[in-house]
Amino acid sequence: MEDMEVERVAPEGPDVAPVEEEPLFTNLDIFLFSLIVGLLVYWFLSRKKSEETIPEFKRLTPVVTPQRETSFIEKMKKTNRNMVVFYGSQTGTAEEFCGRLAKDAQRYGMRGMSADPEEYDMSELPRLAEIDNSLAVFCMATYGEGDPTDNAQDFYDWMQENGEDLKGVNFAVFGLGNKTYEHFNAMGKYTDKRLEELGGKRIYDLGMGDDDGNLEEDFVSWKEQFWPAVCEHFGVEATGDDTSIRQYELVVPTDINMNKVYTGEMGRLKSFETQKPPFDAKNPYLATVAVNRQLNQAGDRHLMHLELDISGSKIRYDSGDHVAVYPVNDVSIVNRIGQILDADLDTVISLNNLDEESNKKHPFPCPTTYRTALTHYLDITNPPRTNVGTPDGPRTSDPSPLSVSLCQGLYQSWVLDAQRNILAVLEDMPSLHPTIDHLCELLPRLQARYYSIASSGKVYPTMVSICAVVVEFQTSTGRTFKGVATNWLKNKVVVTDNGHKATVPMYVRKSQFRLPFKASNPVVMIGPGTGIAPFMGFLQERGWMKEQGKDVGETILYFGCRRRNEDFLYQQELEEFEKAGVLTQLNVAFSRDQEGKVYVQHLLKKNKEHLWKLIHTDNAHIYICGDARNMARDVQNTFYDIAEEVGGLTHTQAVAYIKKLMTKGRYSLDVWS
């Protein structure tokens, strides 16, 4: 208490006078009060002044950024076109077909333009009737389980949600699909049906290309009947002009700044030197190869496991997603093409669209060199399409069967069955001697390759794993065919001789192949060979959930390979998952380790009672990854049999039952042909 009294004493000099009565306000209180009043007065006066004198600012003229034309109708009117060809394309084939149709148009009295539906306002389709003798053609690929391609998603939604009148709109549809998939040509069929429902007039029958057969031949056959139908409908005549029609003109710059030349980038110039997220198809990330090891111990195949480091990229992925990689062509093939065509591959060139109104200014990033185009941008490994040997392509006077093989009946046997790439065609048909720039115009773009990610983003957020088999075999011509992507990846050593780390341009594409929301749901995974890839991610994630203390349901794997001692992929990892209780059942079918071949569907049949209980009673989710043509179909038929034999359903009911599981997302496919 005495200390408190001392604190209340104010020194005034040598002597200290005791305070008998405490004042109402201390000096500090008065100071703070004065400060607040002063601030209020200042605010009031400054506010009044600002109201009386408003400063004048110099008016700035806004900078108007040119807007991309989104009205294809206005563009058609402005450029005097009466035919528009839209493409729904995921790998570039539909886009290529679209370009060929638009280019053909002038031979048949029409004036065409190709268009990406993602770049235009498709709600303007009814306005096409404003243009005399107009026609809309749709080259629509089907993606995944009957879905539209990414660039056609908005158009698909518009068709579903709108009931606009398309009276007076003439249309035709060519679909691109694959019969090994259940929803064959679903997008082409839907577009054709829906446009008619909305009042459009179909001028030629729906074309359906089958990539499991001969997609190119299907398109050419449809096109040969389509154009006469166009001529008849519009009362026009074919010009009969078979001279070559170039879409792009060659420009060889005389004064070029090499810093402005593309060296393999997919979009932005120098994007590989200065990496900027987000990373996607036009802006891939250069991931460092951290691991590249062979998985199989023996046999005549090379199965590999790669790990790509994505640290610092901000790329996120989930188990079941796909990684897209951009491969590079074999240097020896590139050099040989240049040699045959007597071309200086290091010449800097630009191929510029002759149609100045086209949104597609170049067939690939320009300016660049022939070497870069043939190495990074053009598909020189797979068999060329028929347009390389048609009037649009290089001419030949050779009357032998070889000279007509690219555009007539021999295309299937001489080109496709024999797996002749463009180099083999040029070697075996010496009379076909195109200019290199024309060949670059006609060859399709080299596309990204997609692989099911073999890791979990929750367990390995900075690493993406790939499991793949190297494609290499002998063709009937005695040549060795090498898959462009897998052979390129195989040779990606972690650290090169000069100490540089190998890199792979990549991005992640989202998938619907997802683990169930409830960890307690049982999971049945079926994946022979490299089809095991996404299930390695699933198992890592189920193990992680278990460590988190979650109730994780039964996790069962049916895996198929040839021989236990040859290609039992990830054997050690799988046995460890089984030992830890993450993998409830590990069922492996070694197809060639006994006299009679044993496949995953045979093992499924053996466990049919337990599988039916999991599916019908325990809400299990089924996942199938691998070959669509045989394995996926055989497995699906096996589930029909189980539903009939154990569930007591008729075949029709069994089919409907499995389809219902698919609709509910409990029967998922990640397959390829």
Nearest to 574 by CA among 619, 615, 542: 542
Task: Confirm or deny that 141 is annotated as ligand binding.
Answer: yes
Q: Is 440 known to be catalytic? A: no
For residue 96, the SS3 value is helix
Judge whether 450 is annotated as a binding position.
Answer: yes
For residue 636, say whether it is annotated as part of any ligand binding site: no
Binding residue per annotation — 672? yes
340's CB contacts (< 8 A; 6+ apart) are: 423, 426, 427
Is 188 labelled as part of a ligand binding site?
Answer: no
For residue 51, say whether it is annotated as part of any ligand binding site.
no
Which tokens sit at 537?
């991610």
Residue 530 assigned as binding residue: yes
Q: What phi and psi values does residue 255 have, to the nearest 5 degrees?
A: -125, 100
Residue 508 in marked binding region: no
Is 185 assigned to a binding site? Answer: yes
**Residue of 517, 466, 36, 92 lying closest to 290 (CA atoms):** 466
Q: Is the dihedral of CA 121, 148, 361, 389 positive or negative?
A: negative
Residue 326 among known ligand-binding residues: no
Helices of type H across 258-416: 331-340, 370-372, 401-404
Is 616 annotated as a binding-site member? no
Nearest to 562 by CA among 293, 296, 294: 296
Under 8 Å between Cβ of 368 and 266: no
Closest by CA position to 488, among listed 306, 625, 346: 306
Residue 182 labelled as part of a binding site: yes
**DSSP structural state of residue 525:** E
- For residues 352 and 344, give the distance between their C-alpha atoms in angstroms, rounded to a whole number: 20
Q: Is 191 annotated as a binding residue?
A: no
Strands (E), 229-355: 248-251, 285-294, 303-309, 322-325, 348-353
Was 240 annotated as part of a binding site? no
Q: Is 592 labelled as part of a ligand binding site?
A: yes
Do the annotations mark residue 144 as ligand-binding? yes
My answer on whether omega of the bond before 367 falls inside 30° of 0, hence cis, is yes
Please indicate if the annotation marks 9 as binding a ligand: no
Note if 452 is an active site residue.
Answer: yes
Strand ranges for 359-476 from DSSP E: 368-369, 449-452, 463-469, 472-474
Active site residue 625: yes
Tokens of 385: 């399409």
Please tell me whether 125 is known to bind a ligand: no
186 assigned binding-site residue: no
Is 91 marked as a binding-site residue? yes
Q: In the beta sheet, which residues pair with residue 645?
A: none
Helix (H) or strand (E) holding 641: helix 633-645
Residue 601 counted as an annotated binding residue: yes
Helix (H) or strand (E) holding 428: helix 422-428
User: Among residues 280, 318, 403, 672, which one is catalytic?
Assistant: 672
Alpha carbons within 13 angstroms on the beta-carbon side of residue 52 total 6
The answer to whether 563 is annotated as binding is: no
- 154: amino acid identity, one letter: D
Of 98, 313, 625, 668, which is the active-site residue? 625
CA distance 345 to 265: 18
What's the angle, vertex CA 325, arms to CA 100 and CA 262, rounded to 5? 65
Beta strands at 585-590 and 555-561: parallel, antiparallel or unpaired: parallel
- Among residues 182, 201, 184, the alpha carbon closest in space to that of 192 is found at 201
Tokens of 636: 């699906």
Q: Is 179 annotated as a binding residue?
A: yes
Q: Is 403 part of the annotated catalytic residue set?
A: no
Q: Is 142 annotated as a binding residue?
A: yes
The reply to whether 673 sits in an annotated binding site is no
Q: Is 600 annotated as a binding residue?
A: yes
Q: Tell me: is residue 632 an annotated ligand-binding position.
A: no
- CA angle (434 as vertex; 428, 437 as ends), nearest 5: 130
Query: Is 591 a known ligand-binding residue?
Result: yes
Inter-helix orientation angle 608-616/633-645, to 10°: 90
Is 268 assigned to a binding site? no
Q: 598 is written with which tokens?
A: 């044993």
Q: Please say whether the beta carbons of 442 and 301 come within 8 A.
A: no
* Six-digit token string for 271: 């994007």
3-state helix, strand, coil in the chain (%, to 5): 35, 20, 45
List, in order, residues 6 or more apart from 639 with CB less than 8 Å away: 604, 622, 654, 658, 667
89 is in an annotated binding site: yes
Catalytic residue among 452, 465, 511, 668: 452
Check whether 598 is labelled as a binding-site residue: yes
The response to whether 42 counts as a known ligand-binding position is: no
Q: Give residue 442's identity as a one-letter amino acid code.
A: L
486 annotated to bind ligand: yes
Give the separation between CA 260 and CA 612, rounded to whole angstroms: 62
Q: Which residue from 31, 6, 25 is spatially nearest to 16, judged by alpha carbons? A: 6
Catalytic hit among 218, 330, 437, 670: 670
Q: Is 475 annotated as a binding residue?
A: no
634 is in an annotated binding site: yes
User: Residues with catalytic annotation?
Assistant: 452, 625, 670, 672
Which residue positions form the known binding site for FMN? 89-94, 141-144, 176-185, 211
Which residue positions form the known binding site? 89-94, 141-144, 176-185, 211, 301, 449-452, 467-469, 483-486, 530, 591-592, 597-601, 634, 672
Which residue positions form the known binding site for FAD? 449-452, 467-469, 483-486, 672
Which residue positions form the known binding site for NADP(+)? 301, 530, 591-592, 597-601, 634
